[in-house]
């Protein structure tokens, strides 16, 4: 039962994590037809240099672009509660990000209050706000590249349908404030684009790529979602292998214990089996009855093991989701941002 529980729990847990992150990334990029970012030879999931703000003019001039907006999205900073403790998951990073004016290009949505529009205003993820017991219009402290700053909390936001970014927190500002606080004056981390109705994303991607040149890269929202999901799946492969090895050891130990148990039971039933033979039962029937007993016990134990595996996966899911997302962020942070 324990061996099956470990195997079932491993597959349920890893599949659940993959599904959750796939949904998160699909929601994040569902309104983005094409995104522009700096090219990198280090692979898809790397830290990239920022874009010059002048590139936005070229992008908006491309035929088929309905609207485009530059964004700031930087790993770093902290949000603090009234007692000086880190709000949100202290083991996960905090993003400093701009609040897009176009809802189609916004991965966040306000659930309490309003979006930030002034230099002294900030919105934070709902989970961090709830944990820190923030209230709207509270003066909260946010550590940015400019040091410790005080802002007025005007909104609490969800990332898609989640309370935060799978463990990571976010401090959200209007674009000008985000550029200042994240050391991105005159720069963007990416440019999100919405295309004309009926225009294929791949067609718009080709047009934008031709306009911006080889120094920059145009990718579709679907590609961005796939890149992030693939990164998570890659990070989970070692985790899955580790759990399966542990489950295999449990199955092996369980098999040895079951074998020894049945050997003892059969030895204790020697007289019973001898009586059955005396009554005319042949050896194949005796062995068959023991096999039937073992199959029944195995089926019952496996059924309970499957249920136990689901419960085990549920118990580990929160911790593992945070760990997987932190691994994903660590891969981004492990690649130094090249200079322009």
The tens digit of pLDDT for each residue in 216-252 reads: 999 988 888 787 777 777 767 777 787 788 888 888 8
- 55 pLDDT more than 90: yes
The predicted pLDDT at position 340 comes to: 31
The predicted pLDDT at position 252 comes to: 86
For 268, list phi and psi in degrees, rounded to 5: -75, -15
> Averaged over 47-55, what is the pLDDT?
87
With CA atoms as reference, report the closest residue to 169 among 226, 137, 130, 139: 130
Report the alpha-carbon distance of residue 123 to residue 170 in Å, rounded: 8
The predicted pLDDT at position 154 comes to: 93
CB 81: neighbour CB atoms within 10 A? 18
Strand 190-195 versus strand 139-144 pairing type? unpaired
Query: What are the pLDDT digits (tens) for 196-209?
Result: 998 999 999 999 99
> Averaged over 56-68, what is the pLDDT?
92
Report the alpha-carbon distance of residue 319 to residue 302 in Å, rounded: 26
112-118 own/partner pairs: CB under 8 Å, 24+ apart? 112/136, 112/155, 112/156, 113/153, 113/154, 113/155, 113/156, 114/154, 114/155, 115/154, 115/155, 115/172, 115/174, 116/154, 116/155, 116/172, 116/173, 116/174, 116/177, 117/174, 118/174, 118/177
- Per-residue confidence at 167, pLDDT binned at 50, 70, 90? low
- Per-residue confidence at 48, pLDDT binned at 50, 70, 90? confident
Q: What sign does the CA torsion over 280, 284, 285, 289 have?
A: positive
Instruction: Evaluate whether 99 touches 108 at the Cβ level (below 8 Å).
Output: yes
Q: What does pTM read for this prediction? A: 0.67
Report the alpha-carbon distance of residue 40 to residue 203 in Å, rounded: 22
Report the alpha-carbon distance of residue 34 to residue 218 in Å, rounded: 6
Start-to-end C-alpha separation, the chain? 58
With CA atoms as reference, report the closest residue to 36 among 16, 62, 15, 3: 62
Report the alpha-carbon distance of residue 99 to residue 94 in Å, rounded: 15
What is the per-residue DSSP string for 51-109? EETTHHHHHHTSTTEEEEEEE-EEE--EEE-TTSPBSS-TTS-EEEEE--SSGGG-SEE
**Average pLDDT score, the chain:** 81
- Per-residue confidence at 177, pLDDT binned at 50, 70, 90? very high
- 9 pLDDT more than 70: yes
- 287 pLDDT more than 80: yes
- 184 pLDDT more than 80: yes
> Averaged over 100-112, what is the pLDDT?
85
Q: What sign does the CA torsion over 314, 320, 321, 324 have?
A: negative
CB 83: neighbour CB atoms within 10 A? 7
């Amino acid at each position: 039962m324990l061996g099956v529980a470990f195997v079932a729990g491993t597959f349920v847990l890893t599949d659940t994590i993959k599904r959750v992150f796939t949904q998160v990334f699909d929601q994040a990029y569902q309104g983005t037809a094409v995104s522009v970012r700096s090219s990198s030879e280090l692979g898809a999931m790397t830290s990239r240099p920022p874009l010059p703000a002048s590139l936005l003019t070229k992008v908006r001039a491309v035929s088929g672009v309905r609207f485009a907006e530059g964004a700031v999205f930087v790993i770093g900073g902290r949000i603090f509660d009234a007692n000086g403790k880190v709000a949100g998951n202290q083991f996960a990073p905090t993003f400093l990000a701009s609040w897009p004016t176009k809802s189609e290009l916004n991965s966040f949505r306000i659930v309490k209050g309003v979006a930030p529009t002034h230099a002294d205003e900030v919105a934070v993820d709902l989970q961090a706000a709830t944990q820190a017991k923030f209230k709207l219009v509270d003066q909260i402290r946010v550590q940015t590249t400019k040091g410790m700053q005080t802002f007025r909390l005007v909104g609490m936001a969800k990332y898609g349908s989640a309370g935060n970014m799978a463990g990571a927190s976010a401090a959200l500002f209007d674009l000008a404030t985000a550029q200042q606080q994240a050391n991105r004056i005159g720069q963007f981390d990416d440019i999100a684009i919405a295309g004309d109705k009926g225009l294929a994303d791949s067609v718009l991607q080709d047009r934008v790529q031709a306009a911006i040149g080889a120094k920059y890269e145009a990718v579709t929202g679907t590609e961005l979602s796939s890149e992030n999901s693939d990164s998570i799946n890659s990070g989970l492969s070692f985790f899955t292998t580790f759990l399966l090895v542990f489950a295999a050891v449990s199955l092996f130990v369980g098999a040895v214990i079951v074998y020894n148990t049945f050997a003892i039971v059969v030895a204790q039933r020697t007289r019973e089996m001898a009586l059955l033979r005396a009554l005319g039962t042949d050896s194949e029937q005796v062995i068959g009855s023991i096999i039937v007993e073992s199959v029944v016990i195995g089926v019952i134990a496996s059924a309970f093991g499957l249920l136990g595996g689901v419960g085990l996966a549920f118990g580990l899911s929160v911790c593992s989701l945070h760990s997987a997302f932190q691994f994903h962020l660590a891969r981004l942070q492990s690649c130094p941002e090249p200079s322009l």
